[in-house]
Structure 1
Amino acid sequence: MARSQPPSQPSSLGNSGVLRLEVQIRAPDIRPFLGGNVLPGVWSFSAVAPGPHVAVVALVHGNEIGGAVVLDRWLRAGLRPARGRLSLVFANLDAYGRFDPADPTASRFIDEDLNRLWDEETLDGGRRSCELRRARVLRPFFDSVDVLLDLHSMLWPSDPLMLVGQSRRAAGLALSLGVPSLVVADEGHESGRRLIDYTRFSAPGSQRSAILVEAGSHWEETTVATMEATGAALLQTTGVVEAGNAILRPAPPGRAAPRLAEVTRTIVARSRGFAFVQPYRGGDVVARRNTLIALDGDAEVRSPHDGCLMVMPSLRTMPGQTAVRLARFVGPGPQAR
């Protein structure tokens, strides 16, 4: 299992546009928590007072260690619910066990992406992999969860944001938290369904909600702080943990008002020659419709409307992978129902 490592410098883009991968935070030693108390890597605590079952999930990708930092601290500090049930989940234990700060992208997964497996056909099918085995172990547990927060970080430079899929209920919840201030409703990935897209959370009329925070760049202290602030806001908003709990570290005051953006087009790379015309950062807005933003081989990719928000552009993309989502800001956002 990954042990604490000395921090180095934050990741950045060099003059050539090549990403320098540098780890600034320590990978926590979670060996004391591997056994869990309900499943391996899963800790769950119930209060006497009734309330929802809220789960906070880290390490769906084994190299996104910021979430593990948050859960490790909460567990060591003895965080417990005031009402309902609180669960803290270390998801891809095998991939995290291979995390190496000298090669920090290599441990994203072992066989396949754990965050592309959450449809019933895949879960019930005959295919086998390390990640599918873990998903099938976790699935009955996730079936008991009312509200789920999935902690993620990003390889390429971007402002923090919340992803809510197509669930209006999840969008309303994310907007109520206010951290991060940007909430994005999207349709996920061609390559498979994310945990937040799992039917138990995303089905029309479901009373359950799942949201995913992309808290900032991998391996940076500010990303960990955003994850923790988002988690604190969720636990207090749902009432599972009382406001003012000394263990939780809320976001500092003065945050921007929350805004909702809806994805209007998802750009999937079709060739090995996909390239943006400039090194866009997530959160950039292309002012004018029909602006050239990328070339996919010989095909042009242009902004479909004015005020086109760039959501998590990947500056190095393989065929079949999501290169960027293009979105439009909307009004105050849908209300939970």
Structure 2
Amino acid sequence: MFPSTRLLASIFLVITFYIPTFNAQLTSTFYSTTCPNVSSIVSNAVRQALQSDPRIGASLIRLHFHDCFVNGCDASILLDVGGNITQSEKNAAPNNNSVRGFDVVDNIKTALENSCPGVVSCADLLALAAEASVSLSGGPSWRVLLGRRDGLTANQAGANTSIPSPFGSLANVTNSFTNVGLNTNDVVALSGAHTFGRAQCQFFSQRLFNFSGTGRPDPTLNTTYLATLQRNCPQNGNGSTLNNLDPSTPNIFDNNYFKNLQTNQGLLQTDQELFSTSGASTVSIVNNFARNQTAFFQAFAQSMINMGNISPLTGSQGQIRSNCRKVNGS
């Protein structure tokens, strides 16, 4: 049974006024004396980037997501090949020619180093940029827990196996979340990040013409939506052509993503399966989020906190990179 409105209100109060203690080494006040303006520095940089690139908010939150699912939230996704880094996560299949926003990360890091040199980690930068991207796009705000340090290694093989695939079944996706300590509610809430941003044709074109080798489209696709996607992504067309993940409000963080699922307009297979998988526990969660945007926002904020607590490096572990693209001294 899904939580009642009263329980959801209680959850919201927890998010707003209480800092979870499941990882006591992370705290929202970590930089209160060493870099008190860290949140505003990051937010201002993201706001400026959004003015020229409405996609960047979705891109930055995706960077944080793809980082945390590999080696934990340690900014390993930002490392380029060089020094001891012989393989970059940027070149893994889920990331290659897909993840973006590294130049904005560089700009944010430069601003932080100018204000608070050697203090703020790249891992915390990603967490703060994700929150700013959501709140500046109309979504919820939350107190970001801080105190992560940056990893010294990259894990390309891990990126290839740990990041949920857009072609996977609901069971596969749920298993990927379970492996990092997240639950079914997190699966649905975090999938709601697809309420803004874009996806390339290559990540869903198999649904349009030859779904599961049937020679026919995915039967769960709304027929009108299918025709639109087939025009945008013709067979043997440009696989990198971009399509709105949310065809109704593509640049706004709202709950239309879940309403789209109810009318069979989920762009990725993994999106639509949240609603179209018969008997799945995700269906009732989708319905609740579709009718109650506040419930979605509260759950999303909590799930982002949960995701940000995946195996962080703290204390004397790792380092504070001066350049997010390389390990210090390399």
Both structures adopt the same fold (TM-score exceeding 0.5): no
Which structure carries more relative contact order (alpha carbon 8 Å, separation 6+)? 2
Q: TM-score, normalised by structure 1?
A: 0.25
Structure (1 or 2) with the greater helix fraction: 2
Q: TM-score, normalised by structure 2?
A: 0.26
Structure (1 or 2) with the greater strand fraction: 1
